[in-house]
């Protein structure tokens, strides 16, 4: 991912990166039919806001965030999500107790996910990523494999 950011010329985390955005949209579009099938529903984009915290929503109180990865699932012991996104999800849970939020990680070799618990897990928090932003370090071994789903959009 860092190579992609460097190649696009993005200078700071506040600059919109159209290349990465388009990369993410392709992954989301390829994964969406599999999400519809898994949850037995039809998901829709939650908004057209490119900075929205959640990618997909439905009428069953399920929301899904998709994180594309340019590495295999065994490249690192942990994968990351910004703390800003985690805090937003926690606030959504406070407002809507019946809500379920899932985060899907589309690695180059498999897709994995977890249901965001209401109580934040005792995972490490670290300033990391391309621009040194605070992230929740999610152990890959605690993710569930989305079996039978092969996504090819993230193979760069």
Q: What is the DSSP string of 14-83?
A: TS--HHHHHHHHHHHHHHHHHHHHHHTS--EES-S-TT-S-SEE-TTSEEEEEEE-SS-TTS-SEEEEEH
pLDDT band for position 5 (cuts 50, 70, 90) = very low
In degrees and rounded to multiples of 5, residue 95 shows phi and psi of -75, -30
What pLDDT shows up at residue 97? 92
Rounded to an integer, what distance in angstroms lies between the CA atom of residue 21 and that of residue 37? 25
Give pLDDT tens digits for 128-144. 877 788 999 999 999 99
Q: Are 100 and 62 in contact (CB under 8 A)?
A: yes
Give pLDDT tens digits for 31-55. 999 999 999 999 999 888 877 889 9
Which residues make Cβ contacts (< 8 Å) with residue 110, sequence separation at least 6? 73, 145, 146, 149
Radius of gyration of the chain, Cα coordinates, nearest whole angstrom = 15
Fold of 2-145: Trna Endonuclease; Chain: A, domain 1 (3.40.1350)
Is the pTM higher than 0.85? The answer reads yes
**Mean of pLDDT over the chain:** 88
Rounded to an integer, what distance in angstroms lies between the CA atom of residue 15 and that of residue 124? 27
Residue 122, class by beta-carbon neighbours within 10 Å (0-12 exposed, 13-18 middle, 19+ buried)? Answer: exposed
Higher pLDDT, 151 or 37: 37
What pLDDT shows up at residue 101? 97
Q: Are 147 and 37 in contact (CB under 8 A)?
A: no
Give pLDDT tens digits for 69-126. 989 999 999 999 999 999 999 999 999 999 999 999 999 999 999 999 999 999 999 9
pLDDT band for position 24 (cuts 50, 70, 90) = confident
Residue showing tokens 């990351």: 80
pLDDT band for position 127 (cuts 50, 70, 90) = very high
What pLDDT shows up at residue 116? 96
């Amino acid at each position: 991912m860092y190579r992609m950011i460097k190649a696009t010329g993005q200078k700071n985390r506040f600059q919109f990166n159209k290349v990465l955005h388009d990369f993410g949209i392709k992954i989301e579009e390829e994964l969406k039919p599999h999400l519809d099938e898994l949850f037995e529903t039809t998901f829709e984009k939650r908004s057209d806001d490119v900075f929205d915290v959640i990618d997909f929503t439905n009428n069953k109180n399920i929301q899904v965030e998709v994180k594309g990865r340019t590495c295999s699932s065994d490249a690192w012991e942990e994968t990351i999500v910004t703390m800003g996104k985690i805090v937003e999800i926690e606030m959504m849970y406070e407002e809507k107790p019946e809500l379920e939020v899932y985060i899907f990680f589309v690695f180059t070799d498999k897709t994995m996910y977890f249901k965001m618990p209401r109580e934040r897990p005792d995972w490490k928090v670290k300033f990391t990523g391309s621009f040194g932003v605070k992230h929740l370090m999610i152990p890959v071994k605690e993710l569930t494999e989305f079996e039978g789903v092969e996504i090819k959009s993230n193979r760069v």
